[in-house]
Amino acid sequence: MRLGSGAFAASCVAIEVIGVAIFLRGFFPAPVRSSSRTEHRAEPPAPEPVAGASSNWTKLPPPLFSKVVIVLIDALRDDFVFGSKGVEYMPYTTYLVEKGASHSFVAEAKPPTVTMPRIKALMTGSLPGFVDIIRNLNSPALLEDNVIRQAKVAGKRMIFYGDETWVKLFPKHFVEYDGTTSFFVSDYTEVDNNVTRHLDKVLKRGDWDMLILHYLGLDHIGHISGPNSPLIGQKLSEMDSVLMKIHTSLLSKERETHLPSLLVVCGDHGMSETGSHGASSTEEVSTPLILISSEFERKPGDIRHPKHVQQTDLSATLAIGLGLPIPKNSVGSLLFPVVERKPMREQLRFLHLNTVQLSKLLQENVPSYEKDPGFEQFKMAERLHGNWVRLHLEENNSDVLFGLGTKVLKQYLSALKTLSLSLSTQVAQYDIYSMAVGTVVVLEVLTLLLLSTPQVLHRRAELDVPVSSPVFSLLFYLMFLVLSAIHVVVCTSAKSSCYLCSLPWLAAGAVMVLVSMLLCVIVSALARMVMDGTQLRKNAVHPTSVWSEVDFLLLLGTVGHVLSLGASSFVEEEHQTWYFLVNTLCLALSQETFRSYFLGDNCEPQHHFHMAQGCEGTVHTLQYNTGYDAPEPNGENAKALGGHRRWAVLASPWLVLACCRLLRSLNQTGVQGAHRPDFGHWFTSSDHKVQLSVLAAVSLLVIFMLVQRGCSPVSKVALALGLLGVFCYRAAIGNVLFPWQSDKKGISKGIIEARFVYVFVLGILFTGTKDLLKSQVIAADFKIKTVGLWEIYSGLVLLAALLLRPHNLPVLAFSLLIQTVMTKFIWKPLRHDAAEVTVMHYWFGQAFFYFQGNSNNIATIDVSAGFVGLETYMEVPAAFLTVFGTYVGPVLWASHLAYFLNSETSSGSALSRACFCYALICSVPVATYIILVTSLRYHLFIWSVFSPKLLYEGMHLLITAALCVLFTATDQTTHTKSRVKMDTES
């Protein structure tokens, strides 16, 4: 099968995406789970331990509280309550914490710190898998044992208002509910008003046992403007008034009942310094947990330093408080201050039930559980507990009984802590089979790309891919049979469930066919490569191969970056790697321009792989390899350049270097330096809104001046109006100000302004697409295709300007400026070949990903970009806008690459070669990183550092596949034109 190198690369990356998806499905394991099925009737509770006498405590203890109200404030950070903000904006809550009948804790949330996994942890007591960060977008029903299910089985009436994630997780569990969309972050008023409006009515009624309220406004404010926004204080005051209303109502109702009520105030996760969440920084994992009840007696002395507990501890505490069985998968321990005022026998009973549940979970998940220190402590505590019960039943009220009870209490608490820690750190079983199959597919694709590299770099941009002969070969059928046999053996003998084993046999067979076919194609390619290599050595015309310093830098830099991914520190601070590589590239280009224009070497620069002797041979070979139009000898060009032009070329690398240095100071990212002050924080503070407005206006003006030069007159007008609409949108939502606008003007969602911009974005993209389609019909008109590519690029720039926050508009402006400078003064005069230009575009795209403020931390994703111009949550548009807003840098630089190569070439070889190089340079780190995370899957930082980076790599590969398809589709017109030209000549 004969394919263009671009089409071949696009096909390879598409197959690689399938392999990565299979690997990810196997890599993210399910946490420890109880083997008992949740649909079965609950097991009878463990009886009270006895020694020599019978006990009558074989049932669950009665509930401690008549009603429970859970107020979950999304993204409530611990310092919002226990810090200065709490004192200023939440006076009533601060009073309850300091002087009221309450117990305060700082609950640690495990990553991923997003809403759905945190709700699961609060209600089940288990640790959700990291893959739940993806399921967070569309939460499935929760099937494992949880407090909500236990309460429903016990006949308790539950009411819920707030985030609709609860309704999705617990369908048909609430007798009354009103869900609100959690992902529409532009709304931080109505989303909470829809919860509060039910309060007066439901608090007056007494026909419920549990009331759950989930407020989203604080989280949405964080996503929009960060934790230092003045809106944060207003929202905290609103929440304080809600808590006061609920607490006073509960106190008045307690007079009618014999049991007290419990008010739980908590957060699902915290909020990073940028206003996001998802990772494992202190600000994201530290949440307040306040238990308020007239049953408690506040002890002075530990007010400002609440005890740190685990978020999973709440489920066991709620179950005990409501008289329910503890969820089977819970790894949490009872918050002992809740029961410390109860009689000793009841305290020991509660702790015994908790330790029995944890010990059973340990037995079902750890083969050598008997050697676990927590299990040994539990057995010791149980024996001592039995002795205490015997003494108690003998009505022995001596000091010996009290001393023994205190000893048993401490032993139980120690066993609970050790068991909980053992289960929390217990690594779940990975799906090694799925991981292995995914890895094999990725490595096969990478091998095929590497074997095809010599053909792409040294020959025409078309490849003869051996597909038909291997598919019908004996090796293919043999491999397919072997893999099928392995699949059957694994799926029939595996104790743990495998993803591939759960697939239909037809789908699993397709995977086996794919693996077998790729292997046979690799073998055929190797055989052909050996034969072609022998023939090439016999007929070699250009025996010499010369690489420039830039070539070596691009190769060594790419390899060095790939090798750096094996260290957690380099993954956390990957932006430093790309900053270093881009700066080094600028220095190398500066040296190259100096040598070319001052040393007068007529045969420089050498950016080709086969050098002919003499300048004419050099130029001819260069034209053949890159597809560029034939340039004049470089020495002649250097002499013909005027003095100002030559100095501009010499200064351009230093200008790019200066721009990159400024951008580094705009957004601090990573882990080590994220807390350092930067220009972004300065501009986004409420005191510098005027400066931010000026910066945004100047940046939009620069963007227009740099982009409009290649647009048609109609697109220029659309671009100008669209950029004006961007500023109007930011002014409408309160980020920037018009000169005549008051800072106190009310803000809106900016729906109309954003949709105004979308109209021009779609119009420009439509015009560019029309020109591309037109160029396929009129193959002789080469300029139509160039204009069409630029207009598509312009539409993407306008969309990026709309989605980026105002302080990041300079990132977009500098990106366009650097592209203009590099095009005019580096790539054109120095005649770099397609492979070099592609790698440089890739490097700058990666650097601008981090210049934007992104990192390998989930928390740096700007979720608010997905809701620009949307009135309601729509999953597909929101996901597309969020991904595009995150990967603006790589996408725009890849789009510019397609335009640049098309405008500078007269044949399809350059664009096809660029597509192939782009696919290869993206595939190498993905394949390498998969192997690294497999070997490091038991590393201490596997979930906090390596796993988020793995998700980023998977998404980047998916975007690369889309870009390769775009390159291939764009390249079709060039191939068509070349064929027409060949037919005409013949």
* pLDDT, average across residues 530-534: 67
- pLDDT for position 605: 43
How far is Cα 705 from Cα 811, in angstroms, rounded to an integer?
Answer: 15
* pLDDT, average across residues 220-236: 87
472-495 confidence digits (pLDDT tens):
678 888 899 999 999 998 888 755
* pLDDT, average across residues 17-29: 89
What is the percent of the chain with per-residue pLDDT over 70, rounded to a whole number? 83
792-823 confidence digits (pLDDT tens):
999 999 999 999 999 999 999 999 999 999 99
Q: How far is CA 87 from CA 436, 510, 711, 780, in A?
A: 54, 62, 56, 73
Comparing CA positions, the residue from 561, 519, 557, 536 lying closest to residue 457 is 536
- pLDDT for position 719: 95
pLDDT reading at 603 higher than 70: no
- Binned at pLDDT 50, 70 and 90, residue 628 comes out as very low
The better pLDDT of the pair 449, 673 is held by 449
- pLDDT for position 599: 66
- pLDDT for position 394: 77
- Binned at pLDDT 50, 70 and 90, residue 695 comes out as very high
- pLDDT for position 161: 95
* CB-neighbour burial class of residue 677 (10 A; exposed 0-12, middle 13-18, buried 19+): exposed
pLDDT reading at 872 higher than 70: yes
How far is Cα 325 from Cα 331, in angstroms, rounded to an integer?
Answer: 14
Signed CA dihedral, 321, 327, 328, 332: sign only: negative
Extract the runs of DSSP E, i.e. beta strands, from 786-901: none
- pLDDT for position 1: 63
266-298 confidence digits (pLDDT tens):
999 999 887 888 877 888 899 999 999 998 887
- Binned at pLDDT 50, 70 and 90, residue 910 comes out as confident
Comparing CA positions, the residue from 179, 135, 130, 163 lying closest to residue 268 is 163
The better pLDDT of the pair 944, 426 is held by 944
- Binned at pLDDT 50, 70 and 90, residue 42 comes out as low
78-117 confidence digits (pLDDT tens):
999 999 999 999 999 999 998 888 999 999 998 888 888 8
- Binned at pLDDT 50, 70 and 90, residue 460 comes out as low
537-551 confidence digits (pLDDT tens):
555 444 445 678 888
- pLDDT for position 976: 46
- pLDDT for position 430: 80
- Binned at pLDDT 50, 70 and 90, residue 604 comes out as very low
47-67 confidence digits (pLDDT tens):
888 765 566 677 778 899 999
Q: Which two tokens stand for residue 922?
A: 């993206």
pLDDT reading at 970 higher than 80: no
308-329 confidence digits (pLDDT tens):
999 999 999 999 999 999 999 8
pLDDT reading at 637 higher than 50: no
What is the percent of the chain with per-residue pLDDT over 90, rounded to a whole number? 44
**Least confident range of 126-140, 564-578, 593-607, 671-685:** 593-607
- pLDDT for position 56: 65
- pLDDT for position 618: 31
**Least confident range of 119-128, 533-542, 607-616, 842-851:** 607-616
- pLDDT for position 424: 75
pLDDT reading at 885 higher than 90: yes
- Binned at pLDDT 50, 70 and 90, residue 905 comes out as low
* pLDDT, average across residues 344-353: 91
* pLDDT, average across residues 25-41: 60
- Binned at pLDDT 50, 70 and 90, residue 981 comes out as very low
CB of 909 within 8 A of CB of 4? no
Q: How high does pLDDT run on average in the chain?
A: 83
The better pLDDT of the pair 712, 641 is held by 712
* DSSP letter for each residue of 375-404: HHHHHHHHHHHHHHHHHHHTT--SHHHHHH
pLDDT reading at 265 higher than 70: yes
How far is Cα 346 from Cα 327, in angstroms, rounded to an integer?
Answer: 20
pLDDT reading at 428 higher than 80: no
- pLDDT for position 955: 94
**Least confident range of 309-313, 334-338, 672-676, 896-900:** 672-676
- pLDDT for position 904: 76
Contacts 24+ apart (CB under 8 A), 615-622: 621/542, 622/831, 622/833
- Binned at pLDDT 50, 70 and 90, residue 613 comes out as very low
* Close Cβ partners of 75 (under 8 Å, ≥ 6 residues apart): 218, 219, 222, 267, 268, 269, 270, 271, 277
The better pLDDT of the pair 471, 582 is held by 582
* pLDDT, average across residues 234-242: 95
pLDDT reading at 596 higher than 90: no
The better pLDDT of the pair 751, 603 is held by 751
CB of 825 within 8 A of CB of 931? no
153-203 confidence digits (pLDDT tens):
999 999 999 988 899 899 889 999 998 876 555 567 888 998 999 999 999
Contacts 24+ apart (CB under 8 A), 172-179: 173/148, 173/149, 175/208, 176/202, 176/208
CA atoms within 13 A on the CB side of 262: 25
How far is Cα 802 from Cα 725, in angstroms, rounded to an integer?
Answer: 8
Residue 500: count of CB within 10 angstroms of its CB: 21
Residue 172: count of CB within 10 angstroms of its CB: 8
